[in-house]
Structure 1
């Protein structure tokens, strides 16, 4: 509920006061997050470029340090996700469209609002393009200019290359 409603921890605490104890405790939620996220996430500050207006009315760019969050092992994250999908009997090969010995993973990036996100989708599910089947694995606050992508994507590209050579089961 917290994620679906875009609530911060403080907002959830306030909501719990009115709704009552039906909402899980913050400790149990954080424990579950730790179990699900494992040690996949890491963050760092990177210098990205942002448009700026100069005092003479001209436009330019300025560098700013912003947080960049990514996974440190995309392959393990995807393999764990596939194990969960198989456990729930959610995998499909779309009536033979996907060969029975293949798992298709779609990777993309999108700027939405003020942030750029990279996500993967497992195509071997009933609704692969739905929001529920989209998993974000990298994010930074900023635009998707070529300068910013050159500073953030090299680490992700090497992980995608590793993932493309990975075998599941």
Structure 2
């Protein structure tokens, strides 16, 4: 049975940088739980970051592909580099997805790890720009269909469509 990788914070785990969760209350997610499909994962925790921790953003003008290629950094407001933690966490998410037959990932939007359609611009001003976090980017590059917490119905449709075990890739679009 194909699985769904879900950001742990969306499942109520208090693992976000500020020590909070962003719990989803969704019938489809409850059904996935009942079916034994949910694999929870927090790439930032898997990458060795503590809770709580300072916020972090991809440096201005760069994107997740730049980070994964070693051409950009992820920084905290005081300039501390945490890139290795984020890349390690993304690789951990990919390894988890591969080892548990994940077909679909539902990740927390705007995160430098999990954002899919938008991330913060690297200035710590609260400004968002189009772009992906490093985990969303890496999963997408490896054929895992990635969706935001606002795209549960689409994620479920993709999961059910691929229920025969075929590997299908969700075309990624930006808003």
TM-score, normalised to structure 1, is 0.27
Higher relative contact order (CA 8 A, sep 6+): 2
Higher helix content, 1 or 2: 1
